[in-house]
Structures are given as structure tokens and as C-alpha cells.
């Protein structure tokens, strides 16, 4: 008689945390331990074909076959009858595994006993469990009720395996989608990797490797366009939180009236327009990392609440009197001198010292000119792929021009300039033909409207803020160029402080940021 504990073993496996393939392998092991057979197989019914999912005691090539019901009458009988079937040794129906049993590999036809159990999901057959033995009559003494229970449990195992596999596929898909979205966000900011072999960039990499595994707050400092976001992403990706979200917040783009709600969330009715409860960025970043870009732009009224998150890990939604705990690592970035901001009373000293737990300074492009060829190669290939072009390279004059430029907009400026240069150089060039970029395509001395990169702390040498020539321009182009010059001058006159520049221009800070992006002054 079969061991009754075998059925219990199968039932236990159904609730165990096993992958689908492991579950099926364990099932066949139990079948062979329970039934005196030399081989067993579990097949899934797909249309009119039976596809092996797991085998034991059969040749490896069985897993690569499909068994059509019309070609294998014994399997067809099992599926059609919806009940266990024991075929006699003298059955005239051809056995699907003749010559495939590992215990008798040289035989073209094995005289043996054959057993088939349909695997049921409700009233529907979803597969077949088979057992074979060289000894005729090996299955004659098996209890019919036991075989039915075995088939039912095996069917449940197959069904559970399907569900688990579907969940695993869905999980992998979501992870891939999240990964792609993160890479796309990085690509929109000039790339997904830190490029450069110069000594200053080697030091930045060493700093990242050192601080990333800790949970220290990190303050990334550097001029506009140097790649501070890439450093923040690298810190997150090399941390213990890499499997959790990295949430990006541009503090300069948040209107002062909603910045607290954006960061910490709000309750319904907390203010006009708050029609539902809303989670803030710190809620969403729980167990992950939040990147506060341009943190120096945060209003003084919000800074104490950010300090509380850093000190206690607590946030309070707008309109709520309850504190909520979050586990978030803070990485911040700024192109402003926060020590001077503290002295001027525009930034809290206690918050500065908390954020400055581990500072990383990203060098400007002019201090790592040896990296320009590497960066140029990366951007040229990036735009080659985006535009569907043939090989793209610089000529020697263009290479020298890039190396001698001032780059007030840093890597972002180089990115945009090369994108325009590739577009210009590709004009009137055949598809897949080599493209040579020269100084005339770079136009470093006299860029066209929509110049690259963000402006730095001082006035950009690219634009004359006192004179705008309208020769050869349409009225619309002249107006756009005048706007660019005024924005550049305002930002320069205010030491790179965009909020102060907006006030001097008589406009909201968020509107100034949107205008700067449209004019090509910011990315």
C-alpha cells in the first residue's frame, strides 16, 4: 500500500515558499517514493498538446518535446476519461515514452506498466501525471481512491505553480519598468553614469564609495550643470537602500505655498484645494532615499520641519496633529554657498550642519579638462543613436575648441552644444554616412538662440546682457533673445540666486524656472 504520509507531504509543499519549478520537482520525488515506478512526468495541457514541465527517470530530451493528443492515444485516453487509468502490459496503444526510460536506454520498445492521472482544476483537465515501470503489473495493487487524491493534489500543485510563476513574471516586469524609468530620468539629465578619469573625478568616486554604504546625510555642492544629480544617484545605487525608491525633488521649482505639502503631505481640507489626503515625497521615499536638489532654495518656514526629519525621522502632514515616522536617507544638492546663506540669515545653521554631515564637491568642467574628450564621445554617440545617424566624430580643430572653451554651463552645456552640433553636421549627409563635426558646427563663439546649459552664479559670457542685436532675426526671435539676456543678467546680478532674480524681474520663481527651461537656459 502507498504511504499515506506522501499525500500529506504534497499538501505541505502546496503551502511552502517554493518556486514553481522546485514545487514540481518535489512533487515528482514524492510520486516516485509513493508509487513503485522507474519514471514519472508532469505535463501541462495547452490546447491539444501536452507539454512536459518536469520529469524523473526519463531522457533529458523529453522536456523539449510536445506530445499531441492525436499522436499519443494513451495520453488522450487519460485526458478524455478524467479519471486515473492503468494500462495493461499487453495494451496495443503505443506508449509515449518507449525507448526514453533511463533504466533501459537501449530498448526501442519497453514492455512495462503505465499509469496516467488527470490533473484537475475544478471539472477541467489542466495536465497529466504519468508513471512508468519496467515490471508489468507494478501498479495493479494501487488504491483507486489514493490515485484520485494524488491527481487532485498534483493538479492543485500545478495550478499553484502557475499562479506563482505569473506573480514572479509580474514582479520582474515591475522591477524592470522601475529600472527603465530611473535610467530614463538619468538620461534626461545627461547620462546614467559618471564619466571621467581625471584626478578630481577619481576623488568624487572615492567619496561616493566611502559614504554610500552608510546612512549619513550627503550634501553635494557644485556649479550648475556639473552633474550633481548623477552623484546623488550613484550614492543611492551603492547604498543598502538601492532596492527601494530614489525620489527626486527640485526645491527651486516648488512654489512656496505648496512646498510643505509636497514634502510632507496633507490631509483633506487642510487648505483650499486639498480635496483628498495626499502622501508627501518623504512618505513615498520611505526605506529609500530622497534627493533634495537646490536645497538652498527652501523657504525658511519649511526648514525646521526638514531638520526634524533629519534628527528624529518624523514628519507631520499639513492639517494633522500626529507625527509619522519615516525611514529616509536625505541627499541634498546646491549650487549656492550655504555658509554664506547662513551668515546672511537665509538658511538655518542647524539644518546646514545636519545636511553637511558628509559633503561632496563636484568639480566644474574647466577643472577637469582631460575628461572633455570622454564626455564628448559619450554625447556624440548618444545623439547619433537618438537621431539614427551613421558614425560621428570630431575633427582636430573642433577637439581643440572644446578643450579651450570656458564652459560656464559645465557638462550640461557641453551636452547641449554637441547635440546641436551633430544636428547641424548631419544636414545634407546621406543615411549611415560618416559625420565629421567641425568648429563651424560647434559655433562656440556665436551660438544661436536657445544657448546651452544653465547660467552659473555670474553673468554668462555667451550672452550680452546690455546689447541685443536683432540683425537677421524675426520679431519673435528678437523678443526671445531679449528675454534670455534679461534672465542671464538678473541671475548674474543676484549671485546665481534664482529666487532673488525672479523678484527683481517681478515674476514668480516657478514661472522664471519654466521660462528659463523654455529658453534653453536650464534643463
What is the average per-residue pLDDT within 508-518?
80
Q: Which residue has the higher pLDDT, 105 or 86?
A: 86
**Whether pLDDT at 317 is above 80:** yes
pLDDT at 325: 92
Distances, alpha carbon 89 to alpha carbons 42, 97, 428, in Å: 21, 14, 79
Burial of 192 (0-12, 13-18, 19+ CB in 10 A): middle
pLDDT at 57: 87
- Split at pLDDT 50, 70, 90, the class of 457 is very low
The strands making up 289-293's β-sheet, listed across from edge to edge, are 246-250, 289-293, 329-334, 218-221, 358-361
What is the average per-residue pLDDT within 233-250?
91
- Split at pLDDT 50, 70, 90, the class of 179 is very low
Q: Which residue has the higher pLDDT, 140 or 461?
A: 140
Q: DSSP string spanning 169-190?
A: HHHHHHHHHHHHHHHHHHHTTT
Here the cell at position 512 is 522664471
Q: What is the mean pLDDT of the chain?
A: 81
- Split at pLDDT 50, 70, 90, the class of 330 is very high
CA dihedral 11, 13, 14, 17 (to 10 degrees): 150
CB 68 within 8 A of CB 76: no
pLDDT at 371: 94
Task: For the chain, list the domains and their CATH numbers.
Answer: 5-166 (3.30.450.40), 188-363 (3.40.50.300), 366-445 (1.10.8.60), 459-523 (1.10.10)
pLDDT at 356: 95
- Split at pLDDT 50, 70, 90, the class of 389 is confident
Q: What is the pLDDT of residues 416-450, one digit of tens each?
A: 999 999 988 988 787 778 899 999 999 885 444 44
**Whether pLDDT at 16 is above 70:** no
CB 83 within 8 A of CB 125: no
What is the average per-residue pLDDT within 62-71?
91
The strands making up 85-87's β-sheet, listed across from edge to edge, are 67-68, 49-56, 39-46, 124-133, 113-121, 85-87
pLDDT at 443: 87
* Helical ranges in 369-474 per DSSP H: 372-387, 396-404, 410-425, 439-442
Place of cell 547620462: 191
Instruction: Report the candidate in 324, 333, 233, 332 with the shortest Cα–Cα distance to residue 283.
Output: 324
pLDDT at 167: 67
**Whether pLDDT at 515 is above 60:** yes
* Neighbouring residues of 102: CB distance < 8 A, sequence distance ≥ 6: 39, 57, 58, 59
pLDDT at 470: 43
**Whether pLDDT at 155 is above 70:** yes
Here the cell at position 456 is 552659473
Amino acid at each position: 500500500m502507498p504511504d499515506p504520509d506522501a499525500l500529506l507531504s504534497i499538501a505541505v509543499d502546496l503551502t511552502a515558499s517554493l518556486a514553481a519549478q522546485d514545487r514540481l520537482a518535489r512533487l515528482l520525488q514524492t510520486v516516485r517514493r509513493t508509487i513503485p515506478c522507474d519514471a514519472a512526468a508532469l505535463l501541462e495541457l495547452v490546447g491539444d498538446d501536452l507539454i512536459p514541465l518536469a520529469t524523473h527517470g526519463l531522457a533529458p530530451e523529453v522536456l523539449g518535446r510536445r506530445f499531441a493528443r492525436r499522436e499519443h492515444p494513451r495520453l488522450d485516453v487519460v485526458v478524455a476519461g478524467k479519471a486515473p487509468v492503468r494500462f495493461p502490459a499487453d495494451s496495443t496503444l503505443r506508449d509515449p515514452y518507449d525507448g526514453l526510460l533511463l533504466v533501459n536506454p537501449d530498448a526501442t520498445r519497453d514492455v512495462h506498466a503505465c499509469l496516467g492521472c488527470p490533473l484537475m482544476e475544478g471539472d477541467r483537465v489542466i495536465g497529466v501525471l504519468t508513471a512508468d515501470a519496467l515490471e508489468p503489473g507494478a501498479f495493479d495493487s494501487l488504491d483507486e481512491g489514493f490515485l484520485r487524491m494524488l491527481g487532485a493534489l498534483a493538479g492543485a500543485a500545478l495550478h499553484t505553480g502557475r499562479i506563482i510563476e505569473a506573480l514572479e513574471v509580474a514582479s520582474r516586469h515591475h522591477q524592470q519598468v522601475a529600472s527603465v524609468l530611473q535610467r530614463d530620468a538619468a538620461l534626461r539629465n545627461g547620462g546614467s553614469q559618471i564619466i571621467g578619469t581625471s584626478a578630481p573625478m577619481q576623488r568624487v568616486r572615492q567619496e561616493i564609495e566611502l559614504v554610500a554604504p552608510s546612512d549619513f546625510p550627503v550634501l553635494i555642492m557644485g556649479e550648475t550643470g556639473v552633474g550633481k544629480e548623477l552623484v546623488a544617484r550613484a550614492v543611492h545605487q551603492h547604498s543598502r537602500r538601492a532596492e527601494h525608491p530614489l525620489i527626486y525633488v527640485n526645491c527651486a521649482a516648488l512654489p512656496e505655498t505648496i512646498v510643505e505639502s509636497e514634502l510632507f503631505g496633507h490631509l483633506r481640507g487642510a487648505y483650499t484645494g486639498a480635496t483628498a489626503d495626499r502622501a508627501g515625497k518623504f512618505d513615498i521615499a520611505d526605506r529609500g532615499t530622497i534627493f533634495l536638489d537646490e536645497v538652498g532654495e527652501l523657504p525658511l518656514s519649511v526648514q525646521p520641519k526638514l531638520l526634524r526629519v533629519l534628527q528624529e525621522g518624523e514628519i507631520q502632514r499639513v492639517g494633522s496633529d500626529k507625527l509619522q515616522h519615516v525611514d529616509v536617507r536625505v541627499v541634498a544638492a546646491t549650487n549656492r554657498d550655504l555658509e554664506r546663506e547662513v551668515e546672511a540669515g537665509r538658511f538655518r545653521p542647524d539644518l546646514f550642519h545636519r545636511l553637511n554631515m558628509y559633503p561632496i564637491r563636484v568639480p566644474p568642467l574647466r577643472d577637469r579638462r582631460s575628461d572633455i574628450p570622454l564626455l564628448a564621445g559619450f554625447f556624440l554617440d548618444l545623439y547619433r543613436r537618438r537621431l539614427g545617424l551613421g558614425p560621428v566624430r570630431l575633427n582636430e580643430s573642433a577637439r581643440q575648441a572644446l578643450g579651450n572653451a570656458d564652459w560656464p554651463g559645465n557638462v550640461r552645456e557641453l551636452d547641449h552644444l554637441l547635440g546641436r552640433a551633430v544636428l547641424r553636421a548631419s544636414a545634407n549627409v546621406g543615411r549611415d554616412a560618416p559625420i565629421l563635426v567641425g568648429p563651424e558646427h560647434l559655433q562656440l563663439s556665436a551660438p544661436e538662440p536657445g544657448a546651452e546649459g544653465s547660467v552659473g552664479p555670474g553673468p554668462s559670457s555667451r550672452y550680452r546682457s546690455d546689447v541685443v542685436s536683432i540683425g537677421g532675426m524675426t520679431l519673435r526671435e528678437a523678443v526671445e533673445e531679449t528675454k534670455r539676456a534679461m534672465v542671464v543678467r538678473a541671475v548674474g546680478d543676484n549671485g546665481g540666486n534664482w529666487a532673488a532674480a525672479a523678484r527683481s524681474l517681478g515674476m514668480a520663481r516657478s514661472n522664471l524656472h519654466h521660462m528659463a527651461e523654455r529658453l534653453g537656459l536650464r534643463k
